[in-house]
Structure 1
Amino acid sequence: MYDDIGRVGFVGLGAMGSGIARRIMDAGHTVVGWNRTRSKAQDLLDAGMGWADTPREVAEQCDVVFTMLTNTAAVEVAAHGDDGLLAGLAAGKVWADLSTIAPERSVALAEEVAATGACYLDTPVSGSPATLAAGQMSVMVGGERSAYDHVEALLHAIGPKVTYIGPNGHAILTKVAINLSLVVSVTAFAEAVTLVEKAGVDRAAMVDAALKSVIASPVIGYRAPLLVDDDTVYADVELQQKDLVLAQELGRKLGVMLPACSATSEMLSAARSSDLADRDFLVSVADVYRRAAGVEIP
């Protein structure tokens, strides 16, 4: 069903997408890219990446196409229309979407792609640009097993931890659940730091102790230092709250209680009005907690 992989397409070359495309190129693959703003891809172009003028051209020129876009709406725009990916797909091609989008739309896209003769995989990733750079990104996969087998080596070029979950939609459902846990745990960490900071504990000392404790998960490991040295944005409040909204919508549809998710989403709503809303969501949430607690801000 599938021929050997020749050119690999990549649509969506933001901070995460460009890093993933670079890893695929470093693994020896020829990559053809498209991004709404071409200038953001200049480093990749200088490194030898090819360019297509539309998502459709990417799909026409490549055997496998990856997308890494902000949200469901952005993926829909890239997919549809005369210049969209669907117009360029054909039998034997694979579209692997790395984005975190609404599960029901991911399944619907799989059906639309199947009508072209191609195959769609939901392949959301877990991690950050820091995780990616360290070679620790994880990938979850939903869709036809034969398509997964075809692109598995490419996925391992993105990160060493690749897990086949099941049919279309199951990987994106798993990613929503993982991000729910991530955002709740990071928000709880901001709450805990504020509590003891109000009691007089030095913030840097608290962060140092946490990083040496049993709560030092990978996400706390790379995010907690931002409360001491705010120098990186892994995901801002708006982007991170998108994942909680996806979880809440799923919970309503399935009749599943999500009290921790709901409370955390309310906290992120408050953080969107923070003066630091453009920083990493941990920093902006911590800012809201500190102000509400009356903690003196330097």
Structure 2
Amino acid sequence: MVAFLGMGLLGSNFVRAMINKGGQVQVWNRTFSKAAALEQYGAKAFPEVIDAVKGATIVHLTLKDDASVDEVLAKAEPGLMAGATIIDHTTTSAQGAIDRTRQWGQKGFTYLHAPVFMGPPNALDSTGTMLVSGDQAVIARFEPALAKMTGKVLNFGTETGKAAAMKLLGNLFLVTLTGGLTDTLAFAKSVHISMDEINMLFDTWNPAGMVPARLKRMTSGNYSSPSWELSMARKDTRLMMEAASQGSLTIIPAIAAKMDKYIAEGHGGDDWTVIAKDAVPK
């Protein structure tokens, strides 16, 4: 028997997929109606989390944050089977994942943090990516079942908490990408570029394909053979800010300030990716 706690869009679709594959799932959500809605697909809903986990050898969670995970697990603990496994798909801090792995291990339970890169449709279709790290024996035992939930499991090794850090890294990229696109749209609005014109450009010119090469250049440590000099890139950011409506750009002014720092340090003639020099992991 499996229990699943947290019936948001992701959790509820995970449950539906499990049921579609023949699984029996007990569900709970803070707002009971969201759990009860899964009964039409074959789930058994409980208004109290302590009852939802009774008889379950595996308990999955998709909650909000570290605090909600700790709160819900504390309430569920009296109902947990001895030796049950807790698999937490919540996006949390790395330290939280480390602490819970230790704390629940000391109580005789297995805790595995397994965050995901996937949306609700992926959860229903069992497509996407799940991240794991830590005890490799535990991962080996559960990886086949986890792969059936997502299609792909990325194992980041023995360091507990690394999967949590990798999930935050990925989300950081998505946040900054969306912030950059927001600046792009704000600039377009200021200079009267239409969405049709933006789409025409990106339908032909796809910068997403540049990411691997750009990352390699940024982390190479060699910025002395520029394809775009930092001083010229800074000139373009000035033109962007001058053309955009006052206060409409968020990301570009911060990048311009970083460019100014490196120009002041004598890097104006280097490749503009030198602004990543001090950020590169050792």
Question: TM-score scaled by structure 2?
Answer: 0.68
SS in 2 for 1:61: coil
Alignment of 1:198-277 (within 5 A): 198-207=190-199, 209-210=201-202, 213-216=205-208
- Paired residue total: 214
Alignment of 1:182-193 (within 5 A): 182-193=174-185
Closer, same or farther: CA 194–26 of 1 in aligned 2, 3 Å: same
Q: Which moved more, 1:188-197 or 1:51-60?
A: 51-60
Q: Per-residue deviation at 1:22?
A: 1.4
What residue in structure 2 maps to residue 122 of structure 1?
A: 113
Between structure 1 and structure 2, the one with the greater Rg is 2
5+ residue gaps, structure 2, are 210-243, 250-282
Closer, same or farther: CA 186–31 of 1 in aligned 2, 3 Å: same
Q: Is 1:175 paired with 2:174?
A: no
The percentage of aligned residue pairs carrying the same residue is 23
What residue in structure 1 maps to residue 78 of structure 2?
A: 87
Q: Per-residue deviation at 1:86?
A: 3.1
After superposition, give the CA deviation of every residue in 1:88-117 in whole Å (9 maximum; x if it has no partner): 335442101000112212211111211221
User: In 2, Cα distance between the equivalents of 1:62 and 1:291?
Assistant: 57
Contact residue 58 and residue 65 of structure 1 kept, 8 A: no
Give the aligned residue type for 1:214. Answer: N
5+ residue gaps, structure 1, are 1-6, 218-288
User: In 2, Cα distance between the equivalents of 1:51 and 1:200?
Assistant: 53
SS in 2 for 1:69: coil
Q: Per-residue deviation at 1:144?
A: 2.0
Give the aligned residue type for 2:144. Answer: A
What residue in structure 2 maps to residue 103 of structure 1?
A: 94
SS in 2 for 1:66: strand
Q: Per-residue deviation at 1:216?
A: 4.9
User: In 2, Cα distance between the equivalents of 1:24 and 1:209?
Assistant: 42
What residue in structure 2 maps to residue 61 of structure 1?
A: 55
Alignment of 1:39-50 (within 5 A): 39-50=33-44
Give the aligned residue type for 1:51. Answer: A
Contact residue 4 and residue 60 of structure 2 kept, 8 A: yes
Closer, same or farther: CA 48–211 of 1 in aligned 2, 3 Å: farther
Cα RMSD (Å): 2.5
Give the aligned residue type for 1:65. Answer: V
